[in-house]
Amino acid sequence: MMDQRWRPTVNEREFIEQALQSDLRVDGRRPFDFRKLTISFGREDGSAEVLLGETCVMGYVTAQLVQPYKDRPNEGTLAIFTEFSPMADPAFEPGRPGEAAIELGRVIDRGLRESRAVDMESLCVVAGKHVWSLRVDLHILDNGGNLIDAANIAALAALSTFRRPECTVGGDDGQQVTVHDPEVMDPLPLTIHHLPIAVTFAYFGDGNIMVIDPTYKEEAVMGGRMTATINSNGDVCAIQKAGGEGVMSSVIMQCLRIASVKAADITSKITTKVDQYTTEKALQKVKRTPASVAKEVNVPDVTMKESTHGALENQTSKALNDGQQISEDPPAVANDEKHEDAEPMLTESNPEVKIVSNSGSAGESDEVKESRSAESLIDAVKPKHKRKKKQHGKS
């Protein structure tokens, strides 16, 4: 329990109080400075770990379909659960939650639910029958002071990265709900309107000395504490002051102005970390093309070229075999070698070329053309050395 925690000696108490009167703190910070904040995320969506100085808190969000409340049939639910482990502080005992655990859960729950930071109506699947119920579990891993602020940041970071499964409504009566696997349909993020940031102030002496983010030792010496939950727009979401010395209204207004500045700073840090996490998760889903595919793309081109040459050879051999049948369109016999090389390309698929070649032999008679047509085509497709031997034999 918190009343069994470590208690400072008289000398330690006097040292801390005298240092605060000189605007100094034991860890070297100024009165209105936060400790180093580190936010990290787990492999699964909805898991976040926050390290605020020596205070470590892990938040985890889960969801399930439940029946809504009768007075709010179109809204989902949100619940905060805290777990104080003896590993975090020897004063914590396992079993039923103590007063500190209950107070921590209520402060965070009030800041999230009462300010309606999460859109509850977007969690409705079938009005009056099925809604999503969100559960935020906060595990205290190390108690270095100011558990409220660390747990609040952990809850916000976990909610910002949580993705609920996609579901569809169908069936004969239109009331059957089907929850799809994340691999089939992408999960949906939560609709979060703003981020309520909790800023805790500790008062010392007569309430004239106040500091932000008290440590474990400062909490043992402080005379009172107040937690203000404010978003980046400066809207006050909740204020919690549990016992302790009284504080003047002017001091409270000063605390709210300071908390507004700190809330904007912490909101930017959370947003930056969440954006980095979202980008990394998106890049992991993208299927990048390997570098070896660039070489494989050229293979079909080579094959197509080879098939083209093969088609030309088949076309030439077909013209050679059918040379006796093509007698109606006799090609002209040219004297130079250029025209002889062009003759194999004269097939039925090139009628325009045929017309040009027929016009070259206009001076010859039709009988001479018919007698020389078959022999000319056969000679044209033969190799040059055989054609030269044949011409030399004729001479």
Domain positions in the chain are 10-287
Q: Which residues pair with 58 in a beta bridge?
A: 49, 139
- Prediction pTM value: 0.70
Would you say residue 158 has pLDDT above 90?
yes
Q: Where are the beta strands (DSSP E) in 235-378?
A: 236-240
Q: What is the mean pLDDT of residues 278-297?
A: 63
Bridge-based pairing state of the strands 167-170 and 176-179: antiparallel
Would you say residue 88 has pLDDT above 50?
yes
Would you say residue 393 has pLDDT above 70?
no
Would you say residue 279 has pLDDT above 80?
yes
Q: What is the mean pLDDT of residues 143-171?
A: 91
Separation between Cα atoms, residue 161 and residue 47, nearest integer Å: 7
How many Cα atoms are found within 13 Å in the side-chain-facing hemisphere of 76? Answer: 23
| Mutual angle of helices 366-381 and 299-321, in 10-degree steps | 140
Average pLDDT taken over every residue of the chain: 76
Q: Which residues pair with 124 in a beta bridge?
A: 131
Would you say residue 23 has pLDDT above 80?
yes
How does DSSP classify residue 229?
E
Quick one: pLDDT band at residue 175, thresholds 50, 70, 90?
confident
Quick one: pLDDT band at residue 93, thresholds 50, 70, 90?
confident
Would you say residue 289 has pLDDT above 80?
no
% of the chain beyond a pLDDT of 70? 71
pLDDT of residue 180: 86
Residue found under tokens 């329990």: 1
Quick one: pLDDT band at residue 5, thresholds 50, 70, 90?
low
Quick one: pLDDT band at residue 161, thresholds 50, 70, 90?
very high
What are the pLDDT digits (tens) for 227-246?
A: 999 999 889 999 988 777 78
Q: Is 301 exposed, middle or buried (0-12, 13-18, 19+ CB in 10 A)?
A: exposed
Fold type of domain 10-287: Ribosomal Protein S5; domain 2 (3.30.230)
Separation between Cα atoms, residue 125 and residue 75, nearest integer Å: 9
Q: What is the mean pLDDT of residues 189-215?
A: 90
